[in-house]
Amino acid sequence: MVRYIIRLDDACPTMNRSNWNRVFRVLDRYSIKPIVAVIPNNRDKKMIIDEYDSCFWDKVKAWQESGYSIALHGYTHIYTSKSRGIVPMNTQSEFAGVDIEIQRDKIQKGCAIFKKENIKFNIWVAPAHSFDDNTLKVLKEETSVNIVSDGVSFYPYSAKGFFWIPQQIWRFKEKRSGIWTICMHPNTMSELKFKEFEKFIEKNSDKFIGDINQIHQEYKYRKKSLIDICYSLYFFRKRHHYQNKKR
């Protein structure tokens, strides 16, 4: 059996509100509850698309109340390192390779913003998928995070003191088995991407996971299997080959 999770990255007060609202309308139509990765203090100019929304945090609270899972998505979304980190997806990072005390300061400040706005969360989503063991150490010491939305495997697993929900695809592609997190970036979605998204949701709406906590209970004792490890090695070898080819 196959199941899917939708993850929406880069929510912030200056996000592309038209695109985000369009995504939410489709998901709400089919009662699909996504993970929403919220940047606490965005300083990334690429995320400044609309004017600042003074009601943004009220909207985040409304998402949470409707059953969406809110995730801490870094702090400023500014990359200061070229380290790949634990999940070797990209060569840019806000956290991987950065001094642990700088990481601690960022995470403390991000949590403080969430606390001020009364946003509860237990999921970590790293900008550019890049973070290291020090990031996990700080998350363990400073936050209530126990779930990491990242990594590559066929099913969720526990490792390094956290529950990992893999995030393996960015396209709306049907799978035969496993649990697949589809990462979407509403800020930059094209009309073609919207059509692919709407078609996929309409066809597969019954295969989406409605409660992240349910998955946690189901797989919290699972460890990565040999098949997961082999798939992960294949995935990153293929990705690095593609990245090198583009240079």
Domain borders along the chain are 2-246
pLDDT of 247 > 60? The answer is no
Is 3.30.540.10 the CATH number for 2-246? no
**Strand locations in the chain, DSSP E?**
2-11, 35-38, 69-72, 123-124, 147-149, 157-159, 162-165, 178-184
Task: Give the model's pLDDT for residue 147.
Answer: 97
Asked if 85 contacts 96 with a C-beta cutoff of 8 angstroms, the reply is: yes
State the Cα–Cα distance between residues 9 and 183, nearest whole angstrom.
7
Distance between CA 234 and CA 216 in Å, rounded? Answer: 26
At residue 172 the predicted structure's pLDDT band, cuts being 50, 70 and 90, is: very high
Query: Please, which pLDDT band fits residue 74 given cuts at 50, 70 and 90?
Result: very high
In whole angstroms, give the CA distance from residue 214 to residue 212: 5
Mean pLDDT of all residues belonging to the chain: 95
pLDDT at 244: 64
Query: Mean pLDDT across the stretch 64-76?
Result: 97
pLDDT at 214: 87
> Per-residue pLDDT tens for 176-204?
999 999 999 999 999 999 999 999 999 99
CA pair distance 126, 9, nearest whole angstrom: 10
pLDDT exceeds cutoff 80 at 243:
no
Tell whether the model's pLDDT for residue 95 goes beyond 70.
yes
